[in-house]
Structure 1
Amino acid sequence: MEREELAAWLRLEMTPGVGNESARRLLAAFGLPQAIFEQSLAALGQLVSAAQARTLLQEPPELATQVQITLDWLASTGDGPARRIVTLGDPDYPTSLLAIEDPPLMLYLLGLVCEWPARALAMVGTRNPTPQGSLNAQQFARAFAGAGLTVVSGLALGVDGAAHEGALQGYPAALGANALATIAIVGTGLDRVYPRQHLDLAHRIARHGLIVSEYRLGTPPLPPNFPKRNRLISGLSRGTLVVEAALRSGSLITARMASEQGKEVFAIPGSIHGTQSRGCHALIKQGAKLVENAQDVLEELHWPAAPAAPAAPAAPAAAAAPAEPATSKETPSAVAANSEEDELLRALGADPASLDALQARTGFPTPLLQARLLELELDGVVARMPGGVFQRLGRG
């Protein structure tokens, strides 16, 4: 993008009091941004208010600095991921965002250069998931990516991060080096990563997917930006899956926007006792599709799974050694321990439970109960949660 063209787009975006709606009205009337700033006050006043017209004819004082920052950012790719800007008038602008109510004027892109995916699914949820919620997000995203879908999320802590991780793990190399494993829509400028805990994750997404922002470089993590960017998460996707959410979760904003955009909304149910499940249960009551596995989503969207890679030829069978009589190598104490753990898992069930509740259900002495819980925790079968409760982790 040439300096003059970039400067005109940035000037339009930076003009105080002129939002996306007014800017689109001006672009529809006059064409490219350069032409807008060549108009008279009277001509502009027929499309926007008098105050907006006067502001449009005054160049923002920080424009030259912002133009240079942006050009330097675009030029500093080195051997890293590609850096690009697409504007509302660019043929590479995603057509799915043109259909939403408030498409951004500019999109900053960091990552692979390829076509926008036709099979994209948003995955969102709470920043404070239960252990099972994090596991669900990662496993579902891995399955979606393995089926050839691009997982879209917001790089936030919790469910978002787990979804990006799962997608990076599951995307098959057979779909090509330039296929997008995952897209992260962020609420800051692309010259910073928020939250900082996801710095390494952001670098990996940029290598195997795409990071997108509508906010100019230097934009800090301002609270209003995050709910606003949710329209892009749902807008780029054919459907939105809410993994785990409280009743006041920002994920419900994304689900509402998806519904308003005519997209499918899915939700994973959880425990009736868990606050982080109530948002999903509310969505299901309102008509969201209840999801138990990834195949439920694929079938609802009529998306076949990606074809499996050809199986490797079977190795010649080796001569079988004579079978030895099966003998149990477990000691009586090991058998007793396994029996106690099985009983403990049955007592725990699917809902979180306190130590007192588990003691009442099993009758185990406290030292034995604590020892068995620690063993299960170290094995990754049970998680210790805030408030002194334990939750069984479902896998597979």
Structure 2
Amino acid sequence: MKDDDALHAWLALSLTKGLGGEGARRLLMEFGSPEAVFAASIGSLKSVVKADVAAEISKGIKKEDIAPALSWLEDGNNHIVTLADNDYPQSLLNIPDPPLLLYVKGRLDLLNRPALAIVGSRNATPQGIGNAEAFAKSLSDTGLSIISGMAHGIDAAAHRGALRGQGGSIAVVGTGLDKVYPAANRDLAHLLAQQGALVSEFPLGTPPLPANFPRRNRIISGMSAGCLVVEASLQSGSLITARLAIEQGRDVFAVPGSIHAPQSKGCHALLKQGAKLVESAQDILEELGGLLVTPASTPAVETLEIQGSCGSLLDHIGFDPVDVDTLKTRSGLTIAELSAMLLTLELNGLINTIPGGLYQRIH
């Protein structure tokens, strides 16, 4: 990481009202660095950006604007990487609009590991969720990091599968990293922050605005060597990620499904457009063979010893689908305790999540 003055300038530039990524890149090309931008005269700034933006920059770095980010950085697990940092994902330098900087919570070493994006429908079928977890686990065990967006459905399943493997997982989100969206994935977000990484280009405090998610999708595809769409309708936002992957020169893979299933229509459309049909992780590995790495010492979720409260909870779940309220009554645990234990059991491959908020034992 660079010195404090340089970091302050990067932060201030990224937070400048009305500037945007394109304007910031023009300024950096003209002046060379954020510090030089803030040292430039208003006349020279006006030759590059609009007058109101130039006037805003000429006011200098506002300490009150960057203070929240600097306070956030006091946590040793929080990081900010800029275009000038070695830790910045090198693959993003090859896309048309790389973010000026990234907020990162978790492991910086994952940002430049060979990676694959796994995306798909929020309203996934049980089969789709199972497929996403299986692909993610198998690919992660080869050393690939799995990148997704931490949405419900396929995204969350991909993260869970990857965390059971050796390659780690990165969630690229559409909010500031001081927020978790969707809130139901709070436990997953916590686990990703500890064993993987959460990444965002959006400043702290940014809410989950609809326009944010297509923008973050370019980072998901841009950080990845390829994009696997497991299950998607024709309206699924994951098709945006696939389109961006194609535009960025990445491989796109799709899992076929029933011709009668709405959640397969998007995958079939991609296959008609030239996406590679895959039935197993090996199909992807054959395409990405040059990227394979020896599995690193990623702290995968430890195998759970079925004892104590977790063991009792597993007995309460059984092999028939059951909801959280029933489990709360059976176990006597609080909702917070249940959420943590259910996530642990699921990450260890002992239970499945079923649409409708149900859980089912599989081992």
Is this a same-fold pair by TM over 0.5?
yes
CA distance in 2, matches of 1:7, 1:116: 22
Show CA shifts across 1:326-374 (max 9, x none): xxxxxxxxxxxxxxxxxxxxxxxxxxxxxxxxxxxxxxxxxxxxxxxxx
Query: Quick check: 1:205–1:211 contact (8 Å CA) kept in 2?
Result: yes
Query: Are positions 1:133 and 2:120 aligned together?
Result: no
SS class of match (1:192): coil
Partner of 2:289: 302
SS class of match (1:163): helix
Query: Quick check: 1:145–1:170 contact (8 Å CA) kept in 2?
Result: yes
Q: 1:282 aligns with which of 258, 262, 269?
A: 269
Query: Quick check: 1:146–1:306 contact (8 Å CA) kept in 2?
Result: no
Show CA shifts across 1:191-233 (max 9, x none): 1211111111111112221111101111111111111100000
Query: Quick check: 1:117–1:150 contact (8 Å CA) kept in 2?
Result: no
Query: Quick check: 2:38–2:60 contact (8 Å CA) kept in 1?
Result: no
Task: Write out aligned runs for 1:103-142 (5 A).
Answer: 103-114=98-109, 116-142=111-137
Distance of aligned partners of 1:161 and 1:223 in 2 relative to their CA distance in 1, 3 Å threshold: same
Q: 1:215 aligns with which of 202, 209, 213?
A: 202
What displacement does 1:65 show? 3.1
What displacement does 1:67 show? 1.9
Instruction: State the percentage of identical aligned residues.
Output: 54
Distance of aligned partners of 1:32 and 1:308 in 2 relative to their CA distance in 1, 3 Å threshold: closer
Partner of 2:36: 35
Paired AA for residue 150 in structure 2: L
What displacement does 1:53 show? 2.1
How many residues of Structure 1 are paired with residues of Structure 2 in the alignment?
Answer: 304
What displacement does 1:132 show? 0.6
Q: 1:165 aligns with which of 155, 160, 167?
A: 160
Partner of 1:67: 66
Q: Which runs of 4+ in 1 moved over 4 A?
A: 303-309, 382-386
Distance of aligned partners of 1:260 and 1:65 in 2 relative to their CA distance in 1, 3 Å threshold: same
CA distance in 2, matches of 1:383, 1:153: 18
Task: Write out aligned runs for 1:102-251 (5 A).
Answer: 102-114=97-109, 116-171=111-166, 180-251=167-238
Query: Quick check: 1:152–1:233 contact (8 Å CA) kept in 2?
Result: yes
CA distance in 2, matches of 1:306, 1:72: 36
CA distance in 1, matches of 2:221, 2:143: 18
What displacement does 1:115 show? 5.7
CA distance in 1, matches of 2:8, 2:23: 18
Give the alignment's Cα RMSD to 1 decimal. 2.6
Paired AA for residue 16 in structure 1: K
Show CA shifts across 1:113-160 (max 9, x none): 326344200000010001111111011111111122110101111100
What displacement does 1:57 show? 1.8
What displacement does 1:303 show? 4.5
Query: Quick check: 1:6–1:67 contact (8 Å CA) kept in 2?
Result: no
Query: Quick check: 2:245–2:252 contact (8 Å CA) kept in 1?
Result: yes
Task: Write out aligned runs for 1:91-110 (5 A).
Answer: 91-110=86-105
SS class of match (2:78): strand
What displacement does 1:48 show? 2.1
Q: Extract unaligned runs of 5+ from structure 2.
A: 297-349, 357-361
Query: Are positions 1:53 and 2:54 aligned together?
Result: yes
Query: Quick check: 2:141–2:295 contact (8 Å CA) kept in 1?
Result: no
SS class of match (2:207): coil
What displacement does 1:17 show? 1.8
What displacement does 1:34 show? 1.9
Paired AA for residue 287 in structure 2: E
Show CA shifts across 1:153-183 (max 9, x none): 0111110000000001122xxxxxxxx5111
CA distance in 1, matches of 2:84, 2:197: 21
Paired AA for residue 74 in structure 1: L
> Rg: which structure is higher?
1
Distance of aligned partners of 1:105 and 1:200 in 2 relative to their CA distance in 1, 3 Å threshold: same
SS class of match (2:73): helix
Query: Quick check: 2:12–2:65 contact (8 Å CA) kept in 1?
Result: no
Show CA shifts across 1:226-255 (max 9, x none): 111000000000000000011011100000
Query: Quick check: 2:103–2:201 contact (8 Å CA) kept in 1?
Result: yes
Paired AA for residue 54 in structure 1: A
What displacement does 1:3 show? 4.7
Partner of 2:14: 13
CA distance in 1, matches of 2:224, 2:75: 30
SS class of match (2:80): strand
What displacement does 1:66 show? 3.5
Query: Quick check: 2:83–2:101 contact (8 Å CA) kept in 1?
Result: yes
Distance of aligned partners of 1:98 and 1:138 in 2 relative to their CA distance in 1, 3 Å threshold: same
What displacement does 1:306 show? 6.4
CA distance in 2, matches of 1:305, 1:74: 33
Deviates more, 1:190-199 or 1:120-129: 190-199
Query: Quick check: 1:189–1:217 contact (8 Å CA) kept in 2?
Result: yes
CA distance in 1, matches of 2:211, 2:353: 34
Distance of aligned partners of 1:131 and 1:109 in 2 relative to their CA distance in 1, 3 Å threshold: same
Show CA shifts across 1:302-335 (max 9, x none): 24866799xxxxxxxxxxxxxxxxxxxxxxxxxx
CA distance in 2, matches of 1:115, 1:228: 21
CA distance in 1, matches of 2:176, 2:67: 15
